[in-house]
């Protein structure tokens, strides 16, 4: 990423407002080639206005009276035991093709770092691709690592056949349409599930033996993240057994020649029976969806799914961080400090 200025046109920088939405969407369609993205306006509002962690802070660059640059950060909250950390995720970044190489990206990023620091945000995190990674590292981000992957074959013969053909897992097939996750929302709004989420959150806040960052999985977060999400198809199942209980949320996708069930989140009470319930629920969802295999994060403690899962290496998204405060504990720049799930780091 080389966004160095070639000349110095008149550019105004300011915080974005909701009144900028139409021009912002026009910029995303042009700069990010999102013309075919289904209900882009709805996606923008869900992501940046409805987020229970708060409305997204951001900045626009104005050139010739129109929005030609955009830098927006998604608010997020991570917990380590009883401590909550305020974070933001670097998400929507765009510069109009006619305004490239004017230093717009670097100017907005620097200005937003200053603003977020003054606002008391603890750190920035994101999952850059191979093209944007060098720019972030140049501006002070640290590469934490890549989320490890485990898989559990559901149809071993089919997996072996695909492997023999050397077709591999391949990339996920993009389906450009909105989806209906109302069934997930119905699950999340059941009284038993609400009670489970509250108990699991309280238990997580009391733990002293797990010194890693985990998303603050509140009822509001889960409903927003999965039930009100109309752009990724999710499945949810829960089970209570005495004082134990678990909620599992998965996403279905077509990856190469195979049907994948990706475990995006697990909310479980901190006992062995709850972890076994989570594993059973995952197998249940795999059977219902006809998946060829189940994929889960290598963070086995977080998901409670270590049994029968085969490690296949660092196949998840790359994660980078930019601390905005000195001396954060645990250290955000260490991979050992993270208990992230795929649901935390899915591309937004």
pLDDT digits over 228-272, tens only?
999 999 999 999 999 999 999 999 988 888 999 999 999 999 898
* Average pLDDT of the residues in 132-160: 91
Phi/psi for 111 (5° steps) reads -65, -40
> Is it the case that residue 173 has pLDDT exceeding 80?
no
> Is it the case that residue 308 has pLDDT exceeding 50?
yes
pLDDT of residue 169: 58
Q: Could you tell me the two tokens for 347?
A: 């591309």
Q: With contact defined as beta carbons under 8 Å apart, do 285 and 248 qualify?
A: yes
Q: Which of 22-36, 151-165, 242-256, 261-275 has the lowest mean pLDDT?
A: 151-165
User: What burial class does residue 19 get, using C-beta atoms within 10 Å of its C-beta: 0-12 exposed, 13-18 middle, 19+ buried?
Assistant: exposed
27 or 10, higher pLDDT = 27
Percent of the chain with pLDDT over 70: 91
pLDDT of residue 298: 64
What is the set of domains in the chain, with CATH numbers? Answer: 11-145 (3.40.630.30), 148-315 (3.40.630)
Q: How far is CA 71 from the centre of its chain?
A: 18
pLDDT of residue 13: 97
Please, what is the average pLDDT of the chain?
A: 90
Confidence bin at 4 (pLDDT 50/70/90): very low
124 or 177, higher pLDDT = 124
Confidence bin at 170 (pLDDT 50/70/90): low
* Average pLDDT of the residues in 176-196: 95
pLDDT of residue 2: 41
Out of 24-28, 293-297, 314-318, the most confident range is 24-28
HSE of 163, CA atoms in CB hemisphere, 13 A = 9
pLDDT of residue 311: 82
Confidence bin at 74 (pLDDT 50/70/90): very high
pLDDT of residue 136: 94
* Average pLDDT of the residues in 269-280: 90
Out of 3-17, 31-45, 112-126, 129-143, the most confident range is 112-126
**Ramachandran category for residue 208: left, alpha or beta (phi over 0 → left; psi -120 to 50 → alpha):** alpha
What span, in angstroms and rounded, lies between the C-alpha atoms of 270 and 124? 29
Confidence bin at 101 (pLDDT 50/70/90): confident
* Average pLDDT of the residues in 134-142: 94
> Is it the case that residue 295 has pLDDT exceeding 60?
yes
Kindly give the pairing relationship between strand 149-153 and strand 310-311.
Answer: antiparallel
């Amino acid at each position: 990423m080389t966004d160095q200025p070639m000349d110095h046109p008149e550019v105004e920088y300011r915080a974005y407002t909701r009144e900028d939405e139409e021009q912002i969407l026009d910029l995303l369609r042009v700069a990010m080639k999102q013309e075919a993205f289904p209900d882009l306006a709805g996606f923008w509002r869900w992501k940046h206005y409805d987020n229970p962690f708060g409305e997204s802070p951001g900045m626009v660059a104005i050139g010739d009276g129109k929005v030609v640059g955009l830098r927006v950060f998604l608010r997020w909250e991570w917990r380590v035991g009883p401590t909550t950390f305020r974070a933001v995720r670097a998400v929507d970044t765009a510069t109009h093709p006619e305004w490239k190489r004017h230093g717009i990206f670097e100017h907005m990023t620097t200005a937003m770092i200053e603003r977020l620091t003054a606002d008391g945000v603890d750190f920035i995190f994101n999952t850059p691709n191979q093209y944007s990674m060098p720019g972030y590292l140049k501006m002070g981000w640290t590469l934490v690592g890549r989320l490890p992957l485990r898989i559990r074959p559901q149809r071993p013969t089919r997996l072996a056949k695909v492997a023999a053909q050397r077709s591999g897992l391949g990339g996920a097939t993009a389906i450009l349409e909105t989806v209906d996750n109302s069934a997930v929302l119905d699950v999340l709004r059941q009284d038993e599930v609400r009670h489970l989420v509250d108990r699991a959150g309280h238990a997580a806040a009391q733990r002293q033996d797990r010194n890693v960052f985990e998303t603050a999985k509140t009822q509001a977060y889960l409903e927003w993240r999965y039930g009100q999400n109309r752009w990724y198809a999710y499945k949810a199942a829960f089970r209570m057994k005495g004082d134990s209980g678990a909620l599992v949320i998965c996403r279905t996708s077509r990856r190469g020649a195979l049907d994948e069930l990706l475990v995006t989140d697990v909310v479980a009470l901190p006992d062995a029976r709850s972890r076994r319930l989570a594993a059973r629920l995952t197998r249940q969802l795999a059977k219902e969806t006809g998946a060829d295999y189940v994929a889960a994060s290598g963070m086995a403690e977080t998901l409670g799914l270590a049994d029968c899962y085969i490690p296949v290496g660092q196949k998840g998204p790359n994660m980078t961080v930019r601390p905005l405060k000195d001396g954060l504990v645990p250290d955000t720049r260490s991979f050992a400090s993270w208990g992230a799930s795929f649901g935390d780091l899915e591309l937004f």
